[in-house]
Amino acid sequence: MLSFPIYLDNNATTPMDPRVLEAMLPYFNSKFGNAASRNHSFGWTAEEAVDYAREQVAKLINASPKEIIFTSGATESDNLAIKGVFEMYARKGNHIITVNTEHKAVLDSCKHVEKMGGEVTYLSPNEDGLVNLADIEAAITPKTILISIMYGNNEIGVLQPIEEISAIARKHDILFHTDATQAVGKVPVDVMAQNIDLMSFTAHKMYGPKGVGALYVRRKNPRVKVTSQLDGGGHERGMRSGTLNVPGIVGLGKACEICQNEMADEAVRLSKMRDRLEKELLTIEEAYVNGNVEHRLPHVANISFKHVEGEGLMMGIKDLAVSSGSACTSASLEPSYVLKNLGLDDDLAHSSLRFGFGRFSTDEEVDYAIDHVKTAVHKLRDMSPLWEMYKEGIDLKSVVWQEH
Amino acid sequence: MAYSEKVIDHYSNPRNIGTLNKDEKNVGTGLVGAPECGDVMRLQIQVNEESGIIEDAKFKTFGCGSAIASSSLATEWLKGKTVQEAMEIDNMAIVEELALPPVKIHCSVLAEDAIKTAINDYREKQGLEAIV
């Protein structure tokens, strides 16, 4: 039985796994203690729960529990990593290397660093979304202190060559941070084997609650430090003050444990769904997959349907919750900067849909999505002047458009 | 952001989709917007040259639901009006009729531009000056 609307936007957020909710519930009422209260059992119970969650989280990424700093989510983790390294390593240098398809939390933290006197190099990826290793190498200066490159992209799912990037960072004695928000819990991530120095991730992308995440901060070879961005009680080894969100942290821990046990099978199941959807939708004329199709997350497909506008298309499939690279609002008529920075023409970026599958997606839902997207694309092409012109053989690039 | 019922109605049952022969002397075509902006509207009118009344109107639109609804509504309003009357159609009337939110006002502006461009195309074919 299908229930509507169908949620296919699991890269935006995931529903909570009922097992996660169950684990969290006692920490809202009966076990409500402050994990920093050292003088009574309420505090000890909360602290134990946090310690246990820290182990669950660390295990998933092959870290030591002491290397996990709990935060409010990946945005805060990215801010702490980038601004914190910039401040802590000011004596060593002021240059950061990143990529222009990163999440805004990374890009805007870098912009902040620039305002504070830092220098940032924003690399452009290849048109398939992968960063060019030679470009990283070429951007390094004696002042470079940090390379920040995401693990898996939130819009197109492309997985960057993490081991190769960290090898370059190591060779030049530069720290390596990765925003792994979309990857942790979806693909195997190993901070030891992959030589990751700092890593951001969050609970709500892996069937945990919103409002809690973590920053992995390496403690050995090298020992990494970040300057705290919140002043207060000196929680989390002085790197992140603020009373711990115990229920949230318990939820993050449980979510990590479940992912650890189920990730391998889940990835196979979701990539089958993704491949089936993609194969079917690519039978539509002038439909294109955005991003590299070999190195990518198992659960995301980003497809452009030429000469159909994404937002209009989404209205035609209103029973499906997906997202589009088109953002037709007065604040910004600009389509997705990620797609644009791949070198995609604006019209193709405006024509894109992102499908994100998740733990609770079913084959029946995929069938429904395939049917309805096909119908909507055909309907909208019948009313698209661009499609008509394309069919008449008019080169749309040669048309002088009346921009407004 | 939720769409109004009228936008949904025009989107689901668009009026007057289609193409008129742009080479006919009594057909005016307005193609406005740009693919890079995510909105392209083509609006066409067919005018009775004796009475000056718009006998038929067709559109095709590449854009969001509000853009589709704005152009669909425009074709409805154009039919039966004289060219002079059609010139008076104001984008704010479209905003009001479709209850467009502020972020979608540009869709109505585009529809007004399409109407004016189509009328001027017709006028030029008739040897008349364009109205600014």
- Condensed to tens digits (0 to 9), the pLDDT of residues B58-95 reads 999 999 999 999 999 999 999 999 999 999 999 999 99
Searching chain A, which residue's CA lies closest to the CA of residue B29? A385
Question: Whose CA is closest to B68, among A384, A98, A208, A386?
Answer: A384
Residue range A330-338: mean pLDDT, rounded: 71
Dihedral angle at the C-alpha atoms of B81, B86, B90, B96, nearest 10 degrees? 20
Searching chain B, which residue's CA lies closest to the CA of residue A383? B60
Dihedral angle at the C-alpha atoms of B70, B71, B76, B78, nearest 10 degrees? 110
Residue located via tokens 């997959």: A289
Domain assignment present for residue B82? The answer is yes
Flag whether the ipTM exceeds 0.90: yes
Does A382 sit within 8 Å of B38, measured CB to CB? no
Question: Whose CA is closest to A70, among A88, A51, A45?
Answer: A51
Measured between CB atoms, which of B11, B68, B110 is closest to A404?
B110
Residue A368 C-alpha, separation from nearest chain B C-alpha, in angstroms:
19
CATH number for the domain including A131?
3.40.640.10
The half-sphere exposure of A38 on its side-chain side, counting CA atoms within 13 A, is 0
Q: Chains A and B: how many Cβ contacts under 8 Å?
A: 106
Checking if the pLDDT of A237 tops 70, the result is yes
Searching chain B, which residue's CA lies closest to the CA of residue A403? B33
- Condensed to tens digits (0 to 9), the pLDDT of residues A81-131 reads 999 999 999 999 999 999 999 999 999 999 999 999 999 999 999 999 999
Does A386 sit within 8 Å of B34, measured CB to CB? no
Same domain, A80 and A190: yes
Q: Exposure of A228 by Cβ count < 10 A (0-12 exposed, 13-18 middle, 19+ buried)?
A: buried
Q: In what order do the strands lie in the sheet with A287-289?
A: A287-289, A300-305, A352-356, A323-324
Domain assignment present for residue B78? The answer is yes
Domain assignment present for residue A303? The answer is yes
Does B61 sit within 8 Å of A385, measured CB to CB? yes
Checking if the pLDDT of A401 tops 70, the result is yes
CATH number for the domain including B19?
3.90.1010.10
Domain assignment present for residue A403? The answer is no
* pTM for the whole structure: 0.93
Domain assignment present for residue B102? The answer is yes
Checking if the pLDDT of A330 tops 50, the result is no
Same domain, A334 and A245: no
A306, two tokens = 């030429």
A270, two tokens = 């979701």
Searching chain B, which residue's CA lies closest to the CA of residue A351? B38
The DSSP letter of residue A131 is P
The pLDDT value recorded for residue A329 is: 43
Does B33 sit within 8 Å of A312, measured CB to CB? no
What percent of chain A is modeled with pLDDT above 90?
92
Is residue A28 within 8 A of residue A21, CB to CB? The reply is: no
Question: Whose CA is closest to A355, among A255, A252, A278?
Answer: A278
- Is the previous residue joined to A18 through a cis bond, with omega within 30 degrees of 0? no
The pLDDT value recorded for residue A327 is: 62
Q: What is the mean pLDDT of chain A?
A: 96
Same domain, A163 and A223: yes
Same domain, A211 and A359: no
Using a CB-CB cut-off of 8 Å, the residues of chain B touching A308 are: 62
| CA–CA–CA angle A367, A371, A373 (5° rounding) | 115
| CA–CA–CA angle A220, A71, A169 (5° rounding) | 40
The pLDDT value recorded for residue A14 is: 98
Q: Which of A230, A259, A288 is the last residue of a domain?
A: A259
Same domain, A220 and A338: no
Segment among A331-340, A372-381, A391-400 with least mean pLDDT: A331-340
Does A328 sit within 8 Å of B39, measured CB to CB? yes
B34, two tokens = 């740009």
Structural domain including A306 reads 6-10+263-398
Number of folded domains that form chain A: 2
CATH number for the domain including A320?
3.90.1150.10
Same domain, A299 and A255: no
Searching chain A, which residue's CA lies closest to the CA of residue B66? A312
The DSSP letter of residue A319 is T
> How does A296-308 read in b/e, with b if 16+ C-beta sit within 10 Å?
bbbbbbbbbbbbb
Residue B10 C-alpha, separation from nearest chain A C-alpha, in angstroms:
12
Structural domain including B73 reads 5-125
Domain assignment present for residue B131? The answer is no
Distance CA A208, CA A256 (A): 8
A383, two tokens = 């009313």
Dihedral angle at the C-alpha atoms of A323, A329, A334, A339, nearest 10 degrees? 0
Distance CA A203, CA A201 (A): 7
Same domain, A318 and A344: yes
Same domain, A44 and A148: yes
- Condensed to tens digits (0 to 9), the pLDDT of residues B91-113 reads 999 999 999 999 899 999 999 99
Which of B37, B92, B99, B131 is catalytic? The answer is B37
Does A308 sit within 8 Å of B33, measured CB to CB? no
Amino acid identity of A35? Answer: A
Number of C-beta neighbours around residue A182 at 10 A: 29
Question: Whose CA is closest to A357, among A285, A293, A298?
Answer: A298
Segment among A169-173, A316-320, A326-330, A388-392 with least mean pLDDT: A326-330
The DSSP letter of residue A66 is G
Is residue A303 within 8 A of residue B57, CB to CB? The reply is: no
Q: Exposure of A283 by Cβ count < 10 A (0-12 exposed, 13-18 middle, 19+ buried)?
A: exposed
Does B32 sit within 8 Å of A402, measured CB to CB? yes
The pLDDT value recorded for residue A312 is: 92
Chain B contact residues (CB < 8 Å to A): 3, 8, 11, 14, 17, 19, 31-42, 59-65, 67-68, 102-106, 109-110, 113, 117
Best residue in A372, A383, A388, A391 to probe B by mutation, most B CBs within 10 Å?
A383
Using a CB-CB cut-off of 8 Å, the residues of chain B touching A330 are: 102-106
Same domain, A140 and A96: yes
Domain assignment present for residue B92? The answer is yes
Domain assignment present for residue B26? The answer is yes
Q: Which of A259, A287, A314 is the last residue of a domain?
A: A259
The pLDDT value recorded for residue A332 is: 57
Measured between CB atoms, which of A330, A383, A402 is closest to B61?
A383
Q: How many residues does chain B have?
A: 132
Domain assignment present for residue B101? The answer is yes
A268, two tokens = 């196979």
Same domain, A222 and A302: no
Residue range A297-325: mean pLDDT, rounded: 94
Reply yes or no on whether A328 is catalytic: yes
Same domain, A197 and A284: no
Does B67 sit within 8 Å of A312, measured CB to CB? yes
Using a CB-CB cut-off of 8 Å, the residues of chain A touching B62 are: 307-309, 312, 384-387
Number of folded domains that form chain B: 1
Contacts 24+ apart (CB under 8 A), A331-336: A331/B103, A333/B37, A333/B38, A333/B106, A335/A310, A335/B38, A336/A155
Which of B27, B32, B100, B107 is catalytic? The answer is B107
Q: Which of A259, A287, A316 is the last residue of a domain?
A: A259
Distance CA A51, CA B30 (A): 67
